[in-house]
């Protein structure tokens, strides 16, 4: 991984409280191994080991092209800081590595997405589960490129499902360039070109955040969605059934979370805040955990953390809490 878009992580960012040196009091900063990918390759997993590979996507070019608030480029480092003190609640046999960051160099979003895809494919081929921290939601298309390359090589013919927690469909057509609002439309076109199904489920959709054209596009592409108003006690059974049906219909899952799915008082630090987003309440957590309990998730990311607008680091802490659930699953 030696190219102009790569930036190694400064190991000093992984610091925090130390309660002792036995594994039962470990925190993430004591577990994470920082690797400079320009100098050494991903370590091989030993027999009986599994691995989580953290990768940052330091990019906001898609947000900029989309007219959003800038600042998400610093999301990966802020999320590292917020996650450093998380307690370890997974077996010692789980290896956790930080492979650094893919940057958007010279406003070349397309190159950054390609390099992110190459990195994701390499991580998956080594047997690790990627956890990618953004960055704008343009992260999704680059992430998909890597997952697709891996699937084509290792699991040809298997059905890939894409599960997105988001207030937006992000199904706009590039006009003419791709943005943070186009990644899932781009995926749909790539799947169509490969004569493969486009299996896309969005949870948390807000009607006042999407034009009628986007709803029409979603219908044309066979997109399934659960609106934000369905994250309620009265609708939780129906939402769970809809999610279950989607999970049953695919073989593997790429899961992405846009932090703007949450109401602004829970997640103020995003590129496009929403007063009426969903709450990170037990209903949300039930659905979120159900995805990972399926055992089908092979790669995950969290997008749109914008530290510039975060109040009391609420968004970073929430994103870290979601990362905690992903890693311990």
CA angle (304 as vertex; 226, 60 as ends), nearest 5? 135
* 79-90 pLDDT tens trace: 999 999 999 999
Measured CA to CA, the distance from residue 329 to residue 90 in angstroms comes to 8
Average pLDDT over residues 208-224: 98
pTM over cut 0.95: yes
Question: Is 258 annotated as ligand-binding?
Answer: yes
pLDDT for residue 4: 87
Backbone angles phi, psi at 29, to 5 degrees: -65, -20
> Can you count the helices (H) and strands (E) in the chain?
10, 10
The two three-digit tokens of residue 205, written as one number: 């959709």
Q: Which domains does the chain have, with CATH numbers?
A: 6-328 (3.40.800.10)
Cα distances (Å, whole numbers) of residue 28 to 74, 234, 292, 326? 20, 37, 20, 13
**Is position 29 annotated in a ligand binding site?**
no
The span from the CA of 103 to the CA of 109, in Å, is: 9
pLDDT tens across 265-298, in order? 999 999 999 888 999 999 999 999 999 999 999 9
Condensed to tens digits (0 to 9), the pLDDT of residues 130-181 reads 999 999 999 999 999 999 999 999 999 999 999 999 999 999 999 999 999 9
> What are the φ/ψ torsions at residue 136 (nearest 5 degrees)?
-70, 170
- Does the annotation list 59 as a binding residue? no
Q: Would you state the pLDDT for residue 2?
A: 57
Does the pLDDT at position 1 exceed 80?
A: no
- Is 168 annotated to bind a ligand? Reply is yes
Q: What angle do CA 45, 48, 32 make, to 5 degrees?
A: 50
Q: Is 260 one of the annotated binding-site residues?
A: yes
CA nearest neighbour of 119 among 152, 76, 149: 149
55 pLDDT band (50/70/90 cuts)?
A: very high
Q: Which of 104, 129, 107 is nearest to 116 (CA)?
A: 104
């Amino acid at each position: 991984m030696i190219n102009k878009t790569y930036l190694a992580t400064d190991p000093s960012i992984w610091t925090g409280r130390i309660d002792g040196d036995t594994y039962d009091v470990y925190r993430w900063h004591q577990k994470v191994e920082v690797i400079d990918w320009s100098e050494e390759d991903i370590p091989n997993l030993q027999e009986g080991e599994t691995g989580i590979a953290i990768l940052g996507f330091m990019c906001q070019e898609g947000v900029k092209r989309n007219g959003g608030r800038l600042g998400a480029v610093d999301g990966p480092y802020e999320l590292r800081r917020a996650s450093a003190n998380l307690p370890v609640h997974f077996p010692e046999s789980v290896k956790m590595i930080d492979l650094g960051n893919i940057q958007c160099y010279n406003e070349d979003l397309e190159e950054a997405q390609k390099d992110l895809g190459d990195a994701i494919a390499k991580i998956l081929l080594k047997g690790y589960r990627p956890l990618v921290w953004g960055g704008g939601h343009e992260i999704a298309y680059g992430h998909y490129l890597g997952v697709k390359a891996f699937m084509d090589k290792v699991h040809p013919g298997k059905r890939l499902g894409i599960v997105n927690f988001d207030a937006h469909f992000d199904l706009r057509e590039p006009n003419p360039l791709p943005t943070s609002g186009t990644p899932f439309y781009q995926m749909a076109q790539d799947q169509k070109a490969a004569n493969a199904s486009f299996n896309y489920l969005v949870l948390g959709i807000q009607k006042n955040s999407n034009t009628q054209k986007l709803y029409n596009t979603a219908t044309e592409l066979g997109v399934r969605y659960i609106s934000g108003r369905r994250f309620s006690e009265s609708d939780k059974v129906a939402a769970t059934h809809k999610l279950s049906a989607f999970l049953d219909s695919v073989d593997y899952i790429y899961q992405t979370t846009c932090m703007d799915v949450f109401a602004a008082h829970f997640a103020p630090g995003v590129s496009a805040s929403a007063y009426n987003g969903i709450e990170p309440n037990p209903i949300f957590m039930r659905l979120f955990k159900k995805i990972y309990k399926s055992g089908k998730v092979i790669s995950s990311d969290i997008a749109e953390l914008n530290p510039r607008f975060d109040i009391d680091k609420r968004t970073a802490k929430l994103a870290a809490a979601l990362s905690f659930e992903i890693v311990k699953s």
